[in-house]
Amino acid sequence: MSVFDSAAFENHEGVHAIFDEKTGLKTIIAVHSTARGPAAGGCRMWPYASSEAALTDALKLSRAMSFKNAMADIPLGGGKAVIIGDARTDKTPALFEAFGRAVDGLGGQYWTAEDVGVSVADMAHARNQTRYVAGLEGHAAASGDPSPVTAEGVFRGVRLCVERAYGRDLKGVTVAIQGVGHVGAYLAEKLAAAGAELIITDVNEAALAQVAARTGATIVPPAAIFDVDADVFAPCALGGAVTAETLARLKGRVVAGGANNQLASPEVGRMLFERGMLYAPDYVINGGGIINVAAEIAAIEAGTAFDPAWVEAKLTTLAATLGEVLDRSLAEKRPTHEVADEMAKARIAGAAAARRAA
């Protein structure tokens, strides 16, 4: 398969396949767009069955980062790196140093960070070879764990969707949270503090018990979360939670949570819309984490300290952007995910046109 013929190619600016003979590193760095700023997106390590599968994943993820960053209104484009390998057995410091050199070779076109299979410790090795690494601790620009900021953005998004769908605030509203890991646990605390009733599930019993003790949430088994009597379904675990089958079981009118890729397919988004439900597009509502990372990149570039006030201002803008998506969906009678995609594409195209004209 040629790169240009891949269905996932979608006008990428650059796709870099880099091999390091000494360490065996095989990485693909996909740069979808730098129109709004340097491409930013994490590095995933995964034992892909083929280099074609790795390429497809890199292309899809990097385009998704362009869309997320555009909707978060941050001065970053979209990119993503994948390392072909097993994170349990194939990691070495030298491998990540080689990855750092690969990133450095792009001269700042791409900023990397941790993603699935890659830890802060791994990225510290990459950082020895390049400055284009975000998400590390121990310096004035460091942004720390993005999860609380992601959860804050999701919390505000849930509140907005409840206002739109039910015309009320969160007090007494029942929210079903699927997954109480980093994002889901912070979200649960914020919702409980706002007076919401919680029903939670997870495959991790210890995490469930802790969150229930702190929030008074009711615990249900994973498969039951779609059947509970809740006003809001908040997916905060893995992708693909909303399928034709699970959608039919939901009782509430709002789907809004922190997970990436919540819709199993775009068709499910249309079905959701046709059932009169409100869906907060995942890459819009969960943009808080990348806003936090953007503040770190800006501070590294400027040689200044991390600025929480900038993050707060961007979170306010993010909620307004979500509101615009919901307004347009209502006015144009189109599903929210279609409206969001169109807005993201227009923002990227606008920045590209401005760059060409400059």
- Residues in the site for ligand NAD, rule: CB under 6 A? 146-147, 150, 178-184, 201-204, 207, 222, 236-239, 258-260, 286, 289
Cβ distance to ligand NAD smaller for residue 7 or 206: 206
- For ligand NAD, the closer CB: 102 or 158: 158
d(CA 264, CA 60): 15
Question: 182 vs 314, which CB is nearer to ligand NAD?
Answer: 182
Q: How many CB atoms lie within 10 A of CB 290?
A: 30
* Residue number, nearest CB to ligand NAD: 181
Q: Which is nearer to ligand NAD, 98 or 232 (CB)?
A: 232
- 176 within 8 A of 218, measured Cβ to Cβ: no
Minimum Å gap between C-beta 154 and ligand NAD is 9
Helix (H, G, I), strand (E, B) or coil at 142: coil
Q: How far is the CB of 4 from ligand NAD (least distance, A)?
A: 29
Q: Which is nearer to ligand NAD, 290 or 343 (CB)?
A: 290
Which phi and psi angles does 191 have, rounded to 5°? -70, -40
Cβ 235 to ligand NAD, closest distance in Å?
Answer: 8
Looking at 60, 68, 80, 190, which residue is catalytic? 80
Report the distance separating Cα 23 and Cα 65, nearest Å. Answer: 28
- Asked if residues 152 and 288 have their Cβ atoms less than 8 Å apart, the reply is yes
Which residues share a beta bridge with 20?
A: 25
Residues 6+ apart with CB under 8 A from 68: 78, 283, 284, 286, 287, 290, 344
Strand partners, 16: 29
Please state the closest distance from residue 228 (CB atom) to ligand NAD, in A.
Answer: 13
Q: Which one-letter DSSP state was computed for residue 223?
A: G
Q: Are 100 and 83 in contact (CB under 8 A)?
A: no
Location of structure tokens 């996909």? 30
- Residue 147 C-beta: closest distance to ligand NAD, Å: 4
Smaller CB distance to ligand NAD: residue 8 or 220? Answer: 220
Dihedral sign from CA coordinates of 299, 305, 308, 313: negative
The answer to whether residue 80 is catalytic is yes
The pair of three-digit structure tokens given for residue 100, joined into one six-digit string: 């750092």
Residues that are catalytic: 80
